[in-house]
Structure 1
Amino acid sequence: MPYQRFPRVEILSIQPQEIKFILSESDTSVANTLRRIMIAEVPTLAIDLVEFHENSTVLNDEYIAHRMGLIPVRYQPAESLKGSDCSDAFLPHRECVCYEHCMRCSVEFELDITYKVTGEEDVLAPLTVTSKDLVSNNELVQPAHFLSQDEQDEAQDEGVAIVKLGPGQRLKLKAIARMGISKEHAKWCPVAVATYRFWPEIHINDEQMATLTLEQKQELVDTCPDRILELDEVTGDIRAVDNAWDICTYTEDLKFAQAAMKKRPEDDDFVTVTQSKDRFIFNVETTGAMDADEILLSAIRVLRNRLNYLAQELENLKDM
């Protein structure tokens, strides 16, 4: 019977736009599955269709439509539905029975901006059209204008810039946002970064360390470019720094330095750094369409549904 694991998640830091956590008591297959689901299978909303009524800007329709598709669209559920994602409120447009689009499968945005002039100005600065100018027909769905408050404070515009208008120019359009996943198109991807690293296991051989002088120990500490080791000036012992797990990159410099210090080539290493096979450090940054913790919870929900579907199919095969 295979060994049964009980994966654990330990949150290291969490912000609306970023989350860092440790996945333990698992293996590479589960870690990579979770990462790929966050990238490609978490459902989000994105502008999928743009109907132009008038466009006298310097950019053509296709260019503006492409920019509109990359604006993060955020679904904020009501208080009674906190913890749910857009898949609980919308249907994939291919599964809806409506003819074109409806409130069940899509959200409509309108934009109508004209750069009006009175003829009295000598020099007019261009007018920037941003995501703030999009008017939604669903109060729970709005463009994500900024990733964080810091970004908003530093920005020169009021939202995601779409195009700049000159005097007398006009942009009028209607945009339809639909639910989808990144497997279909990258504009539905909720993450900007979703990576994991192996947890470093640092073992110090005290018996071998005793054969080194204090100068050799200091040389060993200085040789490591990651600075994962430190020398205790009181006891003269070498130990791993507290944040070694965060800065370790598994470089070969430490290994080469040890080989030069050994009395015999067959002697054990003074310090060994290996990659854990059941512990992983995840770092996830969002595009703004969802909070980082929402992406993680949604990915776990997708994984659970996939496993339940697989279990049901296996049961059906047994009954045949």
Structure 2
Amino acid sequence: MSDIRSNVEEVRNRVILQEFSVKNVHTTNFPGNYPGYDDTWDMRTFQKSFRIDVAQMTDNLMEFDMVGIDAAIANAFRRILLAEVPTMAIEKVFIYNNTSIVQDEVLAQRLGLIPIKADPFLFEYKTIDKDSAEEDVSEIDTIQLSLKVKCTRNVKASKDSSDPQELYLNNKVYSRDIKWVPIGNQADVFADSSIGPVHDDILIALLRPGQELDIVMHCVKGIGKDHAKFSPVATASYRLLPEITLLDTVQGEKAERLKRCFSQGVIELEEVNGSKIAKVVNSRLDTCSREVLRHDDLKNVVKLGRVRDHFIFSVESTGILPPNVLVAEAIKVLMAKCQRLLNELDSTDIE
């Protein structure tokens, strides 16, 4: 009976990579699918098995494991990170002078995609009055930026020089040239904040003597669902935890070939009685390429799988907010969605 249960658990909890197919690919497990296995959802069981383990944390990158959830929840969490955590981005571009070769529309698009360092939770969403012809700005919902650059010749440049960097001044317009123009009491409220582009080396345009840019920009609060420029992450992805099992002892030349079939660090060779024996060291590093299944003498000694409820998340921030803050805010959004659903169910009369 224990063997039957063990086989059922393997089918239910593992995705198996075969030579020409993938086995057990379904993601949602309805109760009663597996005879002899009680898979009804239980809150206590979920609380025991669910956990989040942080594997890596830097200023802009966070890798963590989310264990004990279904793929639907993992994907909902990823989509919230991409599209429902708010940021500030350039929405309106007022071009007073643009004599560069970059068209106004292209220039506005480039400016809109520059990440702006500003805490979105200190601002409100801007309300748009469709009946008003003027742009109403307020210190509580708008950040104003300006870009004013003119290219001139460098009188100190060598006569024999052909390098534009030496011949011209301000020939390259970077994001560092964008300046914050406080509105109302913003200078006092955000005195300790350095509002402006996250990165100062983003190239905006190339200029030549006589060409100039004179632009005013308005940043507002928004979410990635409205426009990609509001998305707070460069990437937000997940993958299932790889699981590699050696079914037999692999040694000698076969062990060397087995090691080369996987990503570096997955398989290592261990010296035993003068012979090199293959050993799985870190399955997490594997990319599940199935290269090993191309070797007739190796494909039957290894089993490739993935743990169905173990998700490895990678969240890379654009720099507007730290990745750990983004993860926390995404969890809050998901909780709010669940609460709205519960409220709707409570308010609905079901006969």
Question: Same fold, TM exceeding 0.5?
Answer: yes
1:247-269 superposed Cα distances (whole Å, 9 cap, x missing partner): x1223333454x5469xxxxxx5
Aligned to 2:174: 130
- Structure 1 residues 226-235 or 272-281, which shifts more? 226-235
Q: Which amino acid aligns with 1:93?
A: K
Instruction: Using the TM superposition, give the Cα deviation of residue 167 of structure 1 relative to its aligned residue in structure 2, in angstroms.
Output: 2.1
Instruction: Using the TM superposition, give the Cα deviation of residue 70 of structure 1 relative to its aligned residue in structure 2, in angstroms.
Output: 0.9
Q: Which amino acid aligns with 1:166?
A: R
Q: Does 1:317 align with 2:317?
A: no
> RMSD between aligned alpha carbons?
3.0
Q: Distance in 2 between matches of 1:113 and 1:181?
A: 30
Instruction: Using the TM superposition, give the Cα deviation of residue 188 of structure 1 relative to its aligned residue in structure 2, in angstroms.
Output: 0.9
The 1:93–1:225 alpha-carbon spacing in structure 2 relative to 1, beyond 3 Å, is: same
- Structure 1 residues 170-179 or 287-296, which shifts more? 287-296
Where does 1:242-281 land on structure 2 (aligned, <5 Å)?
243-246=282-285, 248-257=286-295, 260=297, 269-281=300-312
Aligned to 2:263: 226
Aligned to 2:239: 197
Instruction: Using the TM superposition, give the Cα deviation of residue 141 of structure 1 relative to its aligned residue in structure 2, in angstroms.
Output: 6.2
Aligned to 1:290: 321
Aligned to 1:181: 223
Where does 1:40-189 land on structure 2 (aligned, <5 Å)?
40-76=83-119, 86=120, 88-94=121-127, 100-115=136-151, 124-127=167-170, 128-136=172-180, 137=182, 138=186, 139=190, 140=193, 142-146=195-199, 158-189=200-231
Helix, strand or coil for the counterpart of 2:106? helix
Q: Distance in 1 between matches of 2:260 and 2:154?
A: 70
Aligned to 1:16: 59
By relative contact order (CA 8 Å, sep 6+), the higher-ranking structure is: 1
- Structure 1 residues 119-128 or 191-200, which shifts more? 119-128
Q: Which amino acid aligns with 1:67?
A: R
- Structure 1 residues 20-29 or 88-97, which shifts more? 88-97
Q: Distance in 2 between matches of 1:56 and 1:288?
A: 31
* Contact 1:107 1:141 (8 Å CA) reproduced: no
Aligned to 1:240: 280
1:71-107 superposed Cα distances (whole Å, 9 cap, x missing partner): 101124xxxxxxxxx1x32222237999733222211
Q: Which amino acid aligns with 1:115?
A: C
Q: Which amino acid aligns with 1:164?
A: L
Q: Distance in 2 between matches of 1:8 and 1:201?
A: 19
Structure 1 runs (4+) deviating above 4 angstroms are: 95-99, 116-123
Ranges in structure 2 where 5+ consecutive residues have no aligned partner: 1-39, 160-165
- Structure 1 residues 161-170 or 90-99, which shifts more? 90-99
The 1:277–1:318 alpha-carbon spacing in structure 2 relative to 1, beyond 3 Å, is: farther
Helix, strand or coil for the counterpart of 2:324? helix
Q: Distance in 1 between matches of 2:232 and 2:213?
A: 28
- Structure 1 residues 117-126 or 58-67, which shifts more? 117-126
Instruction: Using the TM superposition, give the Cα deviation of residue 117 of structure 1 relative to its aligned residue in structure 2, in angstroms.
Output: 5.8
Q: Distance in 2 between matches of 1:48 and 1:255?
A: 52
Instruction: Using the TM superposition, give the Cα deviation of residue 229 of structure 1 relative to its aligned residue in structure 2, in angstroms.
Output: 2.5
Q: Which amino acid aligns with 1:104?
A: I
Q: Which amino acid aligns with 1:33?
A: A
* Amino-acid identity (%): 28
The 1:35–1:119 alpha-carbon spacing in structure 2 relative to 1, beyond 3 Å, is: same
Instruction: Using the TM superposition, give the Cα deviation of residue 32 of structure 1 relative to its aligned residue in structure 2, in angstroms.
Output: 1.2
Instruction: Using the TM superposition, give the Cα deviation of residue 223 of structure 1 relative to its aligned residue in structure 2, in angstroms.
Output: 5.9
TM-score, normalised to structure 2, is: 0.71
Ranges in structure 1 where 5+ consecutive residues have no aligned partner: 77-85, 147-157, 263-268
Aligned to 1:151: none
Corresponding residue pairs, total: 285
Helix, strand or coil for the counterpart of 1:71? coil
Q: Which amino acid aligns with 1:186?
A: A
- Structure 1 residues 294-303 or 107-116, which shifts more? 107-116
Aligned to 2:20: none
Q: Which amino acid aligns with 1:42?
A: V
Q: Distance in 2 between matches of 1:65 and 1:222?
A: 51
